[in-house]
Structure 1
Amino acid sequence: MEFKKISIELFEDEAAKLKSFLVSLSDIRNSISVKKMEGGNESKSDFYIFTVEMDALKEFVVKLSRTDLKIITQEEINEKLKSTIKSNAAYSSATNSDISPAELKALKKVKTIEDFIKNGEYKVLLDIIKDIRLEQNKRNRAETALPAAVKRAIEINYEEGLQSKRRAFISLEELTEICTNSQLKNLRLNHIIENAGYKAIEICINYNDFADELIKIANNIKMPNIISMKAVIKFSEITLRDDRNFKSDFEADIVYAVKNTNLRWLNIAFDSVEEEITNEEKEQFNKFMSFIKFKKLGN
């Protein structure tokens, strides 16, 4: 199968444009993958590299042409990164160039388990834990350090998600990944991963146009059931006046919810956590479910 890579440069104030563009790709999303490359601390922009199947390329280009997002070449990205990344090894890694054995060895020496905790790099620790080629002592140390690294990753993404809509979109993806990570669940870090879900919900309610993201959280069957409940309850609080009427500022979010809400899944989730939510929250949940059912009947 043939692919084409198309890269765009996204500036700090363009998060809404990217979100709209990604939504427009929903009908060809299975033919596209996207990778984010951060521009660095001194940069005012990040880069998104789309890998598009040739069969979907024409439609992708048409949709992209309707935006004013800036297309950029890989060479231009490399030059911009080179001006912000000081280490030759780090630059080579960021641009997928070859890293010399000496540089790679130096990078490994610099990174310690304590560094992984500080930077919230829990995925690296998960890789260490499952790598049977490593000494058992090192794997045990990684497992001991894992909870702290996950907590730090949640903290970093939450704080950055509150800074701007552009970063919030990425933070939600990262927090959702933590909250649905099967390895973390298998290691019985349920309380910690639930916290990632709560932080994702808090980011959603921090921005007026992120209410639809609450429905995406609620619909995700890999989420802890309590998080699905809390997300839909918060959506109800924010957008609905009663079980027949919604607040006018949230019409687009309501349209999305009516079209996409998985009522069956939410009923299952509710039954499993009914004892964990308050009576007021139950009222909000029932209001939401009644409203969606009412609207699905064509009202």
Structure 2
Amino acid sequence: MKLSYYPGCSLHGTALDYDRSVQEVCGALGIELVEIPDWNCCGASSAHMTNHEIGMRLPLRNLLLAAELGHDVLVPCAACFQRLKAAERSLKEEPEYWDIEGYPEDLNIVHVSSLLAEDSVVNKIREQVQVRFDGLKLACYYGCLSLRHPKITGVINYEQPRTLEAIVESVGAQPVSWSHKTECCSGSLTMARPDIARRLVGDIVDAAKRAGADGMVTDCPMCQANVEGRQLDLASADYLPVFFGTELISAALNGHYPAKQKKVHLVDASVLDEVLNRAPQSREETL
């Protein structure tokens, strides 16, 4: 399988570790990624909230570059995914307004969790897992942008999604049933209104703790940074680490959790090490 790859700004900046894990996992699963040459910022938040024309032209340019490669487009960042899907919808509905002809109808924009939750991919993950995370309970947290609005994203089960749960189960961990998996974490307001961010993140983390979660898993770099970072402002020091789905898969496939990866977390992420240390260190030992 070959896919065009749109990393977006976060994965080349504050979420470099997410980018590494996406590329590592895809490589291990036989998925070839071709980074879109000369891609630009999708304009998430800053552009589309300021000017509609700019907010659409930025992601449209990326789609036209992807179309030249001729492959479906893999997008790890939830905000980038939402903006590319919004541009695609507008382009297909109003091609004359955007003065663009020949855009391929069969070009698909694929979010990374949707790809990794496909049955064939899940089976590959299970076959290659070196260490299972048995006993690790995780709250799957989707946030807003990879799901809503469904008229843009095309997601059917936007209130009760299951892609992250499929990823968590593929490495032997247990997804918990909880109430806040699609609630907003206020990522776009975290600097302007930290009071709102603290309240919403506090509600999310409390809900995950009530469900018995040892940590959380997400596919949104903004959510990951905001939910971990704003926990530091809360009264409780009983923090929950927020892992990327690809981060979990990478550790399960490699059989270890690198210290440099653990260091990028803003709260203690040693729970993954604890589970790994309890688990057999290879699939052969479990046979």
Identify whether the pair has TM-score above 0.5, normalized to the shorter chain: no
Bigger Rg over Cα: 1
Specify which structure has the bigger relative contact order, considering alpha-carbon pairs within 8 angstroms and separated by 6 or more residues: 2
TM-score when normalising by structure 1: 0.30
Q: Which has the higher helix share?
A: 1
TM-score when normalising by structure 2: 0.31
